[in-house]
Amino acid sequence: MIKTLSYRDIDIKSLKENINSTIDKVAANVLPIMEDVKTLGDGALRKYSKKFDGVDFKEGGFQVTDREIQDAYNRIDEEFMEAFRRAKKNIWEYHERDKRNSWFDCLSLGGIWGRVIRPLKRIGIYVPGGTAAYPSSVLMNGIPAIIAGVEEIVMVTPPDNKGVVPPHTLAAACELGIKEIYKIGGAQSIAALAYGTESIRPVSKITGPGNIYVTAAKKLVFGQVDIDMLAGPSEIFIIADKGADPRFVAADMLSQAEHDPDSFSVLASPCQDLADNVKREIRKQLGQLPRKDIAEESLIKNALIILTEDIAEAVLASNKFAPEHLEIMVDQPLAILNDIENAGSIFLGPYTPESVGDYFGGTNHILPTGGTAKYASPLSVGDFTKSMGVLHYSKEKLLRNAKYIEKFAVVEGLDAHARAVSIRFEGE
């Protein structure tokens, strides 16, 4: 079921298809939906909600009501609410440390420079839904936006075929103070956020993971609005030594395999015995999973054990793969942390499964995939702000530096730029 290869026998770059090529394949199907929403507004939203979600919305009717929020709370047990509020506290405290502040400094001869940080005013968050509930995605999108100071947060999420949003998702939004919630999903919801309709005012940025059609829609509207990233299939890469517990490794590989058939689960280790034991454990644990069929297909397609010469070579393999989630299960994980160059989020030691980061630990679970961790970062407070440079020169400071500025302008052939400086001192 799971392939085992030596590090020297594989081409890690070829393991993953570029997410952009996958998106481009479905873009042709998504574009007409986007154009319909842009042209027909709410009418197109009703059309596609009926077609894809089986929901027949009447005039308007997309927005979640206060009554629906109250009904949601009535369907949730207190044990979940306690877990939710504890997770909220951790995620809030972690992201609070990411907050950026404006700064100013005085320069010689009467100058000032600085940077002004401003929050985005209105943003949209996409939360997957339908038959499943993802309250954790509400936390991961909403909390950094709130900390950044965003005034208006709009949430879109697909309902089930009765037009109902999962209660845990609605309660999560209410706990964060998100009041503008629409029961629409798919590419049509991304178009509504970007272009606006009669019921939904447009936003300036869209964040949150979705299926390939949502991702393709986000790519198509980029430029009209900003987006967080183009998310692909989920990934886990585990670096483990001989001391790692094969039960833990197997369970963590399965935790990604159950996401969808295109997920990646990879182990890199110099220990053949560990590799063999992990394979046995995966077969044993797989039969206990409700999503066994999905996980099994994922393992057949994309699971891999890489046998390396040593842990240093396992680190090299991880850096080339640039995984979304990286677990380090070695005797001294901090000793190799400095060698990790590319990963979305890093989990150290045997008792930090990736699930902790998904729900509770504080780090964000909206992460770069498809190798984009080589240049991209997790969603953070900074994603919901913009900055503006600030500069002031006194007359004396401009005079002192005029010849240098004019020289640059002349070299670049922009004489009006040079004159904009020199004219201020004509006749002096």
Q: Among residues 235, 258, 324, 354, which one is catalytic?
A: 324
> Is there a domain that residue 418 lies in?
yes
- Position 280 in a domain: yes
The predicted structure's pLDDT at residue 229: 95
Q: Which domain holds residue 62?
A: 41-100+120-227
* Whether residue 324 is found in the same domain as residue 298: yes
Residue finishing a domain among 194, 227, 260: 227
| 95 is an active site residue | no
Q: Are 180 and 204 within one domain?
A: yes
Q: Tell me which of 212, 227, 242 is where a domain ends.
A: 227
Does residue 127 belong to any structural domain of this protein? yes
Same domain flag for 254 and 216: no
H helical segments located in 49-161: 66-74, 78-96, 135-148
CA atoms of 1 and 90, how far apart (whole Å): 38
Q: What is the mean pLDDT of each run of 10 residues along the chain (428 residues)?
A: 89 73 88 97 95 86 94 96 97 96 96 98 94 92 98 97 94 97 97 97 97 95 96 95 98 96 96 98 95 95 96 97 97 97 98 97 96 96 98 97 98 98 92
Query: Does any domain span residue 30?
Result: no
Residue 406 forms part of a structural domain: yes
pLDDT at 17: 67
Residue 345's CATH number: 3.40.50.1980
Tally of structural domains, the chain: 3
pLDDT score for 60:
65
Same domain, 211 and 248: no
The reply to whether 111 falls in a domain is no
What is residue 23's predicted lDDT score, i.e. its pLDDT? 86
Which of 95, 168, 325, 365 is the catalytic position?
A: 325
DSSP H or E segment with residue 106 = strand 103-107
**324 carries an active-site annotation:** yes
Burial of 62 (0-12, 13-18, 19+ CB in 10 A): buried
Residues 77 and 213 grouped into a single domain: yes
Of how many residues is the chain composed?
428
Residues 175, 316 share a domain? no
Whether 213 and 155 map to the same domain: the answer is yes
Report DSSP state, residue 360: T
Same domain, 239 and 218: no
pLDDT, position 58? 79
Report CA-CA distances (Å) from 113 to 40, 392, 405: 47, 6, 17
Same-domain status, 156 and 127? yes
Who's near 39: CB < 8 A, 6+ residues apart? Answer: none
| 27 inside domain | no
Q: Are residues 214 and 184 in the same domain?
A: yes
Structure tokens at 172: 């999560």
20 touches 174 (CB < 8 A):
no
Q: Which of 209, 227, 245 is the last residue of a domain?
A: 227
- Does residue 214 sit in the same domain as residue 252? no
In a domain, residue 388? The reply is no
The whole-number pLDDT of residue 19 equals: 67
Q: Are residues 275 and 155 in the same domain?
A: no
